[in-house]
Structure 1
């Protein structure tokens, strides 16, 4: 049985972190991520449910999976604000409580940085997607610039401690392709706060197709 996830400190501070991010542009990033989604969606690591109100009306159902109980409680409250019906389920990304080949879209939003076993989580995303489905991803990633990468590496232990296990230096786009997904489009950018870069500024938003049998 997978061990439970409990990050009480991170669950307490994350809503404040998200509020700052939304005030500086992450609302637009979420809308970009979810534009054109439709059918049945599985959101992996739903957190507080910040994405729920941005799903378009073409979405029939959102299955939102979140392992941290405090964040999951916030997501359950946020589910009432969404356009699409949202069902919040407990569970880990590495063991999704979702049927095989049942989702049109899998969404991973600012979560692959914290997952313990990224290959297993991406394999699970592939498992629950229909062959015609797609993965939508929005993540902060390892910087391609040497100076910022040095800063990320220096801060990494403290960042993981206070950020719910968040890794600053993951090459998430490569992890997605290594899992057999085909990246269809990706936008790489720096998410600036007050015009300035920060350790988690390097970001990607994109779409990928699941592995073929």
Structure 2
């Protein structure tokens, strides 16, 4: 990782993704999590304060040392045991059926091989477990999608590979995960080109 990716980008992500307006959405996303949870894209730990009491531990997947450093205060105050358990969501270092649930917030946009990451989630979360997600992605209306396509090359350069145009519900379906609930909306106060918010839960297996 270069200086920008390790020293600058984590602070930008912590600032933009740490907006207070997103806290209620993070709380909604984490509601219902239980047991052992793998969190893809732990970042600076912006979900720590909204984990429900039913979570017994978090296995954090986070490639950025800078992001992990920013999380130190939240880690120290967490009620839930949290371990940095891996660096790459596309290659999870766990046995099959290890976790009760998975959590991902504003992460699927940056993973280079999203199908591989979702296949890994499906592998390590037990049958009947859930995947809780809060992700932005392709907009529901064509004029905004046009701007997303125009802006995406810039976004990817300045925001750590972030894609604006990923179809989050479609990616879950392609991975064989069943979306059992989803709320899609534009977040007030943010540009529509950032995309539609996708807040929901998917089920693993039958």
Q: Shorter-chain TM-score: what band?
A: over 0.9
Confirm or deny that 1:152 pairs with 2:148: yes
The separation in 2 between residues aligned to 1:5 and 1:111, in whole angstroms, is 20
Query: Which residues in structure 2 correspond to 1:11-22 (within 5 Å)?
Result: 11-19=10-18, 22=19
For the residues of structure 1 that align with 2:62 and 2:145, how far apart are their CA atoms? 30
For structure 1, the 5+ residue unaligned runs are none
State how far apart, in whole Å, the 2-side matches of 1:201 and 1:181 are: 22
Alignment of 1:1-213 (within 5 A): 7-8=5-6, 9-19=8-18, 22-23=19-20, 25-193=21-189, 197-211=191-205
Count of residue correspondences? 204
Kindly report the root-mean-square deviation, in angstroms, between the aligned alpha carbons of the 2 structures. 1.7
Q: Distance in 2 between matches of 1:109 and 1:50?
A: 9
Instruction: Give the C-alpha shift of residue 5 in structure 1.
Output: 9.0
Secondary structure in 2 matching 1:97: coil
Per-residue CA shift, 1:161-202, capped at 9, x if unaligned? 001100000001100110000110101111121xx6432141
> Where has structure 1 moved over 3 Å in runs of 4 or more?
none
Change (3 A) 1:50 1:172: same
Greater Cα shift, 9-18 or 45-54? 9-18
* Cα distance between partner residues in 1 of 2:2 and 2:124: 22
Consecutive unaligned residues of structure 2, counting only runs of 5 or more, are none
Q: Is the 8 A contact 1:66 1:72 kept in 2?
A: yes
- TM-score normalised by structure 1 residue count: 0.90
